[in-house]
Amino acid sequence: MTDNVGPSTWDRVCEEQVERLELERATLSSILDSMADGLVLADADGHLIYWNGRIAELLGTSLPLHVGMPAAEFKHLLSQHIADPEQGLNNLQCSSDELHRRPRLDLRIVGARPLTLQAMQFPIHGPQGEDWGCGLILRDVTEQRQVDQIRASLLAAVSHELRAPLSSIKGFASTLLRPDVSWDVDKQREFLTIIDEESDRLAGLVDELLDTSRLVLGGFKIEPEVLDLAPLLERIVAQARSQAPQHRFALEIAGEPRPVWAEPRRIQQVLHNLVDNAIKYSTPGGEITVRCRPQDDTLVISVTDQGEGIPQEEQSLVFEPFYRGQSPERAQKAGLGLGLTICRGYVEAHGGHIWVTSAPRQGSTFSFSLPVYQPRAARPPAEATGNVDA
């Protein structure tokens, strides 16, 4: 029997095979271009054979790549976008030994939006294990590295801040327990008072950490009620006068403030944090003014000090966790750097907004708004949504 397959039939079969291969190639290319990671492939001779579109997106610009480009030339183009090219690119090798020794490294990308990319190298092997080349994956790990930095800052800050009250508690407790000394009642009371105060300080630090954790994870809830702010503001200012007699305090309430829909304990803590912050960064004798005024359907509460002020470039950072400012005076102040972060989380959980206006040597004003109580209107959400960044 003779196969009756003419040239036209073979042409048609070949065309179908070519179309199928082109479709498979287009499908694979679409999949690779849809990856969140950048991908570059090189053959065994060290020449580029493929790259996806995500490479240009990560670097913020298109690289003049072409098939057959030597890997060394690609590394040179990449180096123009890396903060420390010598340290990073010297470790990008296509040899199997280098790939197994150091398969991953971080590259800091400079540009309008600085990024940290994790470079992951891998070998490409054929069906029989032969060397077909190597690949490079570039993954955006900027947020992950920021979280790592926050964790490191947390450990350092917690270790430093918890050590002081713990040392005081341990020191005075050990002193009281000395068997070779009989302390009189007044001295015992003095030592126990210090232990009690340091225990409160320690509990406050732990509460800050727990509250920040809840805000970041989005599980923080408020229990709002109708709240008249005037008595609360008067109480806060009276306590501040008693605790910081070296400062002058003023309270200004415009008109008859309408009640707000808020949890008293949380708003009280916001006010405490803002007033304590003003005391901490003000010179003795300076005036600290607490104001309350209506604005549309909100009440705006502000705390103004006459301290050193905050540079414009730092004002967007002061509500971030653990941020202490760049000036030596601010960096040396006690605390975890979480007070303003907690303020932002509490205020936003109530449907409000918090901000700062300041200038160097002209003091600072921290303000926040709260929606007024409206019985027939939709209430602000009673659960934070995790919008406090870490």
Give the pLDDT confidence of 322-358 residue by residue, as tens digits.
776 666 565 556 566 788 888 999 999 999 999 999 9
Domain count, the chain: 3
For 31, left (φ over 0), alpha (ψ -120 to 50), or beta? alpha
237 shares its domain with 170: no
Predicted local confidence at residue 328, as pLDDT: 57
* Residue 245 is assigned to a structural domain of this protein: yes
Token pair 């997106």: residue = 57
Distances 207 to 200, 203, 349, 353 between C-alpha atoms, Å: 10, 6, 18, 23
Return d(Cα 94, Cα 165) in angstroms, integer.
Answer: 54
Whether residues 195 and 329 share a domain: the answer is: no
Domain residue limits at 57: 35-140
- Say if residue 136 is in the same domain as residue 149: no
Q: Of the candidates 336, 299, 341, 300, which has an alpha carbon nearest to the alpha carbon of residue 318?
A: 341
- Does 191 lie in the same domain as 304? no
Q: Distance between CA 72 and CA 3 in Å, rounded?
A: 53
Residues 290 and 348 in one domain: yes
Token output for 208: 């800050």
Q: What is the pTM of this model?
A: 0.58
- Count CA within 13 A, CB hemisphere, residue 301: 27
Question: Is there a domain that residue 196 lies in?
Answer: yes
Same domain? For 248 and 315 the reply is yes
Is residue 249 within 8 A of residue 288, CB to CB? The reply is yes
Please state, in angstroms and rounded to a whole number, the distance separating the CA atoms of residues 225 and 372.
11
Residues 212, 341 contacting (CB under 8 angstroms)? yes
Six-digit token string for 79:
């180096």
Do both 367 and 234 map to the same domain? yes
- Strands 248-253 and 38-43 turn out to be unpaired
| SS3 (DSSP) at 44 | coil
Q: What is the pLDDT of residues 141-160, one digit of tens each?
A: 988 888 787 777 767 767 77
Residues (pLDDT < 50) of the chain are: 1-2, 96, 99-100, 377-378, 385-390
pLDDT in tens, 225-253: 999 999 999 999 998 998 889 999 999 99
**Phi-psi group of 363: left, alpha or beta (phi > 0 → left; psi -120 to 50 → alpha; rest → beta):** left
